[in-house]
Structure 1
Amino acid sequence: MSDAPAMRIWVDADACPRVVKDILYRAADKRGVSLVLVANSRFAVPKSERIEFLQVGSGFDKADEAIIHLAGDGDLVVTTDIPLAAGVIEKGGTGLSPRGEVFTAENIRGRLTMRDFMDELRGSGVMTGGPSALRPKDRQEFSNQLDRLLRARGY
């Protein structure tokens, strides 16, 4: 382990694909990093001293608010939610999407701008479609990026 504070991985778990959670469960135990899954609805997680589940109240953005409040400098958040990633980045953390896109202080403003633009389009009635299904290539990219981020922190 490096001299940096212990990193925690926070997961916006309601929207996180099962296959990504499975990758995270294995990484937590193999690498000895703390993993906290935050969700509105309870679900089973493997029994492990490294894996925690935090259930928050129902309501829009309750999980996001909890993660932003609890995450610290050097932590990693796994999410597709750009404002959540931005909130964690403001506290010195990093974001990682389930497709392996890393969100950093250098790229989050552009991602927020694009998100806001797409919201405006949807608000004006333009059908923008949703994300495509997670492909094996996406899972591999997530796994590779997670590995890089963990190695960079000494895990």
Structure 2
Amino acid sequence: MALYVDADACPVKAEIERVGTRHKAQMYFVSNGGLRMSQNPLVEMVIVPEGPDVADMWIAERAGPGDVVITGDIPLAAKCVEAGALVLKHNGEMLTEKNIGNVLATRDLMSDLRAADPFRQGGGKSFGKADRSRFLDALERAMRMASSRT
């Protein structure tokens, strides 16, 4: 079992490391750089070259059954779900074969709406304690599910 983290804009890196360590899972924090290195022997910081979706491709090529992927990138999530990995968003929402189609469609619709209104500002809510707690609970459940698949 491995934990793959799309780490560039991930607000829950410390939580992932804590849960992953408890489960003795190898963790890959994948980014274009700029992350603080971890002293944890289970954490590998993977720095990929600059370019569109390079980190996503690195994760998608490796994640599979028995792995857990943490990402807010919906197209990456869809590839990982298709490969058999368990996928969580940063807010703890699990993306599965049953819901990924709707999530992709909503993402595309929202992208079109944003493109149609260049003056639209903000829209995202802040990430708080309740979100962290929900994520920790979801990650713990996902890790148990993944370990039962291996």
TM-score (norm: length of structure 2)? 0.91
Structure 2 residue corresponding to 1:132, chosen from 118, 121, 125: 125
Give the letter aligned to residue 82 of structure 1.
I
Count of residues in correspondence between the two structures: 147
Contact 1:14 1:40 in 2 (8 A): yes
Q: Give the alignment partner of residue 15 of structure 1, picking from 9, 15, 18.
A: 9
Q: Structure 1 residues 73 and 151 mapped into 2: Cα distance closer, same or farther (>3 Å)?
A: closer
The letter of the residue matching 1:9 is L
Flag the structure with more relative contact order, 1 or 2, with Cα contacts below 8 A and sequence separation at least 6.
2
User: Where do 1:1-155 residues align within 5 Å?
Assistant: 7-17=1-11, 20-125=12-117, 127=120, 129-154=122-147
TM-score where L is the length of structure 1: 0.88
Q: Which residue type is aligned with residue 144 of structure 2?
A: R
Mind listing any 5+ residue stretches in structure 2 that lack a counterpart? none
Task: Call closer, same or farther: CA 1:128–1:69 in 2, change over 3 Å.
Answer: farther
Q: Quick one: distance in 2 between partners of 1:39 and 1:76? A: 17
How high is the sequence identity, in percent, across the aligned residues?
37
> 1:4 maps to which residue?
none
**Whole-angstrom CA distance in 1 between matches of 2:121 and 2:78:** 23
Q: Mark the runs of 5 or more structure 1 residues left unpaired by the alignment.
A: 1-6
Structure 1 ranges of 4+ moved more than 3 A = none
